[in-house]
Amino acid sequence: MLNKSPLSVLIHEQAKVYGEKTALRYRDYATATWRDISWREFSRRVSLVSNALLKYGVAEQENIAVFSQNKPESLCVDFGTYGIRAVSIPFYATSSEAQVKYMVNDAVVRFVFVGEQYQYDTAFRVFKMCPTLERLIIFDHAVERNPQDQVSIYFDDFLKEGEGLPFADEVARRSAAVQPDDLVNILYTSGTTGVSKGVTLTYRMYAAAIPANDRVMDLSEDDVIMNFLPFTHVFERAWSYWCLSRGAQLAINLRPQDIQMTLREVHPTCMAAVPRFWEKVYTGVQEKIAQSSTMQRRLMLDALAVGKRYNVDYKLRGLVPPLQLKLQYKFFEKTVIALLKKTLGLERGNFFPTAGSFIPPAIEEFVHSCGIRMTAGYGMTETTATVSCDWHHAPKTIGSVGRVLEGIEIKFGEQNEILLRGDTITKQYYRKAEITAQSYDAEGWFHTGDCGYLKNGELYLTDRIKDLFKTSNGKYISPQALESKFVVDRYIDEVAVIADERKFVSALVIPDYSLLEKWARDHGIAFASREELCQNPLACKMVMERIETLQQEFAHYEQIKRITLLPQPFSMERGELTNTLKIKRPVIAQNYKAQIDAMYEE
């Protein structure tokens, strides 16, 4: 049953219901075991945080920052902060010094909770550049403090400040005083363009969003949730709060690079993911098929073909599959598909919400063919995550982002821009009155910057207005439409389309380096380094031929004419990717200007 208590008291109210049942799990890397935290213990720690913050003199609606990877402590601080009517601001664990300095100063933060060594070192270095900053609280005891550090304490010592709950009455008073339009979070967008903006989320927004999602998707207290995306991201944050409101168990993945291992250890029923995760799964399965014997390859391809007919052609559309097809699928479901799911750690799967960027239809079709219920969706930080998603008991179409949630109004403006109104939509950017005014029209419609259309009750995205390229010949190019086509090729890891104010379309290509190197060895092509291989004309010709095969459906002016293979992937450290792995096109254009210009030389 959904608990509709406000976030200020949610954990305490759930502890009354679930007691010693496990609320949170996390991997102890020292012992390679998973440790459980009960609802009662979760509630106790939240109370200690609330009391310790009051001892530090934290005021109502004061901003507290959490600069950490996913950890149980992060959630304890969040809900402890809500309990005293204060505001939690999460920073991405990979944030740079400049980003941390900007956010701390913009939000006038006094206290920052840091996770591991990188976050501590970064926060400590900017301390003197942040006039309001008073103290760092360190989650991980393995963090080595700077010898000159007089401003930080460890989290365990911080919790001792709340022992005995000396401010229990004040916590209760503040929790009860929470108002619908009080701030809960300020989420600074990583942004593919422009300066970072603080999106304000309120109790009203969460109170509208959580029940709206709950009405259309099958989540229960029996579900085990793998937290893979950062809690900093609105998708994982809002999703996790809904899961906690349902009494589901959260298994917190501390290290994103270990997700394949932790999935096989936990065997979750649900996990929020971005399309990039499923693209990697697709590539892995395709490579497995390519390396299999003739008989195994045929069996796997037959399983996927039957899975596609059963799940995509019939079940997703709300149709009843023929008996023969049903029997065929049941055979593969218990053999090939069962083995595939077990290998991934998804054999207990319920559903897997997927959003954050465009989902290539081929990837979505593949996931459903494997009998994995991907729930496609669309949303933004400004909309408390979900605007639309696949409703579990309604027909679904590959390529759509589902049906708009109840309570959200939608219409389409110039260039088919999606405009929204409703209680889940933010009313302002933090301390950004001018940008706020630019984002809303006189009737209160929020301008998303995304283009799309409705068909048979489902929402389809076409592109972002700012992402549309106009060539020097006056033709408009949709880079996402092109880029999404190429991720199905096992030799291509990532593509950045170039076309703006250029006379034809080109692309920077990140190849799958291991496969490209194997291909070169198999074809007797010598290379002394990855750089040398990526510059080899035969390697470029092979990848270009694969691109030409995949882009045949596009008009001639839309097709990629030249490519450059890059010897290193795009990175967050160089500012080329957002924290959700979307490419920042202006940064890409700047960082690779020489390579891009070379593609347009006569």
pLDDT digits (tens, 9 = 90+) for 316-372: 999 999 999 999 999 999 999 999 999 999 999 999 999 988 898 999 999 999 999
Q: How many CB atoms within 10 Å of residue 263? A: 19
Q: What residue type is 488 in one-letter code?
A: V
pLDDT tens, position by position, 118-142: 999 999 999 999 999 999 999 999 9
Kindly tell me if the per-residue pLDDT of 193 is higher than 50. Answer: no
Q: How many CB atoms lie within 10 A of CB 522?
A: 8
**Contact predicate 269/225, CB 8 Å:** yes
Asked if pLDDT for residue 192 goes beyond 70, the answer is no
User: Strand order of the sheet with strand 403-404?
Assistant: 352-354, 374-380, 385-389, 403-404
* CA 220 to chain CA centroid, nearest Å: 22
What pLDDT does 195 receive? Answer: 64
**Res 194: pLDDT:** 52
pLDDT tens digits for range 162-172: 999 999 999 99
3-class secondary-structure state, position 335: coil
429 CB-near residues (< 8 Å, 6+ apart)? 197, 198, 199, 200, 435, 436, 439
How confident is the model at residue 555, as a pLDDT?
82
Specify the residue for token string 């939240």. 46
Three-state secondary-structure class, residue 428: coil
pLDDT digits (tens, 9 = 90+) for 552-571: 888 888 899 999 999 999 98
> What average pLDDT does this structure show over 485-491?
88
pLDDT tier for residue 394 given thresholds of 50, 70 and 90: very high
Which alpha helices (H) appear in 455-496, and where do they start and end?
Answer: 479-486
DSSP category for residue 292: S
CA distance 344 to 362: 19
Residue 477 banded pLDDT, cuts 50, 70, 90: confident
Quick one: average pLDDT of 186-195? 70
Minimum mean pLDDT range among 37-46, 192-201, 482-491: 192-201
Please state, in angstroms and as integers, the Cα–Cα distance from residue 247 to each residue in 1, 10, 384, following that order: 8, 10, 20
DSSP string, 67-110: E-SS-HHHHHHHHHHHTTT-EEEEE-TT--HHHHHHHHHHTT-S
Q: Say yes or no to pLDDT of 291 above 60.
A: yes
Q: Whole-model pTM? A: 0.87
> In what helix (H) or strand (E) does residue 149 lie, and over which residues does it extend?
none
Answer whether residue 531 shows pLDDT above 50.
yes
Residues 486, 495: contact at Cβ < 8 Å? yes
Output the average pLDDT for the chain: 94
Mean pLDDT of 390-413: 97
**pLDDT at residue 191, rounded to an integer:** 55
User: Whole-angstrom Cα distance, residue 395 to residue 401?
Assistant: 12
Ramachandran angles phi, psi of 424, nearest 5°: -85, 0
DSSP letters, 177-215, are: H--TTSEEEEEE---SSSS--EEEEEHHHHHHHHHHHHT
- Of residues 94, 372, 146, the one with CA closest to residue 256: 94
pLDDT tens-digit map of 13-31? 999 999 999 999 999 999 9
Average pLDDT over residues 439-451: 94
Task: Evaluate if residue 237 carries a pLDDT over 70.
Answer: yes
Q: In this structure, which amino acid lies at residue 217?
A: M
Determine the pLDDT at residue 373.
97
**Tokens of residue 462, six digits:** 């076409």
Whether 114 and 153 have beta carbons less than 8 Å apart is answered as no
Other beta carbons less than 10 A from residue 556's beta carbon = 8
Q: Count of CB atoms within 10 A of residue 322's CB?
A: 12
- The continuous run of DSSP H or E covering 286 comes out as helix 275-291
Which domains, ranges and CATH numbers included, belong to the chain? 10-178+229-248 (3.40.50.12780), 275-426+447-464 (no CATH), 468-599 (3.30.300.30)
The span from the first CA to the last CA of the chain, in angstroms, equals 66
377 vs 41: CA distance, rounded Å:
34
Q: Measure the CA–CA gap between 59 and 343, rounded to whole angstroms.
A: 50
Detail the DSSP E strand segments found in 492-546.
492-498, 505-511
Q: Quote the pLDDT of residue 74.
A: 98
Tell me the backbone φ, ψ of residue 153, rounded to 5 degrees. -140, 160
Dist. CA 446–CA 405, nearest whole Å: 16
Q: What is the pLDDT of residues 72-122, one digit of tens each?
A: 999 999 999 999 999 999 999 988 898 899 999 999 999 999 999 999 999
Closest CA to 75 of 180, 212, 202, 185: 185
CA–CA distance, 309 with 300 (Å, rounded to integer): 14
Distance, in Å, from the CA atom of 72 to the CA atom of 553, rounded to the nearest integer, reads 48
Q: What is the pLDDT of residue 485?
A: 86
The residue type found at 362 is A
Average pLDDT for 165-190: 96
User: How far, in Å, CA of 227 to CA of 231, rounded?
Assistant: 8
C-alpha to C-alpha distance for 320 and 317, rounded to whole angstroms: 9
pLDDT digits (tens, 9 = 90+) for 452-475: 999 999 999 987 776 767 777 777
Pairing of strands 385-389, 403-404: antiparallel
Residue 430's nearest CA partner among 208, 104, 97 is: 104
Mean pLDDT value across residues 156-182: 98
Q: Rounded distance, CA 276 to CA 572, Å?
A: 15
Q: Rg for the chain (alpha carbons), in Å? A: 25
Mean pLDDT across the stretch 393-415? 96
- Alpha carbon distance 451, 436 (integer Å): 20
Give the three-state DSSP class for 394. Answer: coil
